[in-house]
Amino acid sequence: MEMKRCISSLTLEQLTAELKAMGQPGFRAKQIFHWVHQKLVTDFSAMTDQPKALLARLEEAFYIAAPIIERRQEAKDGTVKYLLRMADGNCIETVVMRYHYGNTVCVSTQVGCRMGCRFCASTQAGRVRNLEAGEICSEIYTAQKDIGERISHIVLMGIGEPLDNFDEVMRFLENISSPEGVNIGMRNISLSTCGLVPKIDRLAEKKLQLTLSVSLHAPNNDIRSGMMPVNDAYPVEVLMQAVRRYQETTGRRVSFEYSMVRGVNDSDACARQLADLIRGMGAHVNLIPINPVDGSPYSATDAANVRRFQQKLESLGVNATVRRRLGSEISAACGQLRRDEMNGKA
């Protein structure tokens, strides 16, 4: 028996081709795309302007990604964290963060992760599979329907390495930014990578208007390789060359994520090395007080030390901000809810 395919993963162009092959007029594709990506239906029977015979054929060949909310946690600051169960039973995490400029959703791009960063709960059980474009879209649609408010911004910083799932993430970006769908502009989207250099170069070629956010977390190879195994494949100097190429090609400013770990990467010497590393890039550094993760050898730098590190960077001409700690009382560390569910603690 042929497996059903995820219709919400198809771009409008791909959907048009599929319907044409079924002998359907082109305008049907746009109507169905609207139903899935604008009206956010999860059932073909809800597409009231489509012929019943066509809906029956679609039902036979396709499904619409519609995860089940397995767990929902809401913090005092309005942050909502979801454990979502996908159609195959695997779980991922999605987070809604409320800011003065609108609602941001942090999405997962893989079930698990194989990058092995030692301060992250997402990677502790490895990668199970990539998420499809439609499944990533469905995280946003599920959250938007649950909170009853529009999602205006997206960060691809949840479970998984987005550039390790390159093709599906590119299709997701096309669908989510489509004027025929929820139409979230590329300038309201941030994509985070731990530093897969060949994929950064591929992304640069696409000249998208999104913000590339590089998970740097250390200013030299010794410290970074201890925290992030990816650094053995793409050392700091190789990564920084790729980031500079990306900036030249796209004209977009890059931001750097820097998780503050007590006694590891939070010294004045580290601040000086970091300033030297990114000098002349006009880049922004986002300092992150890490959330504690069971099984990780790392602990968070205290707030006073984070502030001192920020001031040191600013005195060296680096634009640095401290990320607001949102939802700290609701298993805020990325991958923590999923791991608890896998370990039977949920």
Domain ranges within the chain, ordered by starting residue? 5-63, 68-343
pLDDT given at position 346? 47
Query: How far apart are the C-alpha atoms of 20 and 14, rounded to whole Å?
Result: 10
Q: Which of 6, 18, 93, 135 is catalytic?
A: 93
Active site residue 93: yes
Assign domain 5-63 to a CATH class.
Answer: mainly alpha
Q: Please name the amino acid found at residue 43.
A: D
pLDDT given at position 120? 79
List, as residue ranges, the binding site for S-adenosyl-L-methionine.
160-161, 192, 215-217, 291
What's the DSSP call for residue 7? G
List, as residue ranges, the binding site.
113, 117, 120, 160-161, 192, 215-217, 291
Closest listed residue to residue 196, CA positions, set 243, 238, 163, 160: 163
% the chain with pLDDT above 90:
83
Q: First vs last Cα of the chain: how many Å apart?
A: 35
pLDDT tens digits for 197-243? 999 999 999 999 999 999 999 999 999 999 999 999 999 999 999 99
Active site residue 329: no
pLDDT tens digits for 275-325? 999 999 999 999 998 766 555 666 777 889 999 999 999 999 999 999 876
CATH of span 68-343: 3.20.20.70
Give the H or E element holding residue 68.
strand 68-74
Beta bridge partners of 286: 257, 321
Q: Which residue has the tokens 């081709």?
A: 17
Beta-carbon count within 10 A of 51 CB: 11
pLDDT tens digits for 10-38? 999 999 999 999 999 999 999 999 999 99
Are 81 and 73 contacting, i.e. CB atoms less than 8 angstroms apart?
yes
The two beta strands, 91-99 and 80-85, are antiparallel
Which residues are CB-neighbours of 308 under 8 A, at least 6 positions away?
A: none
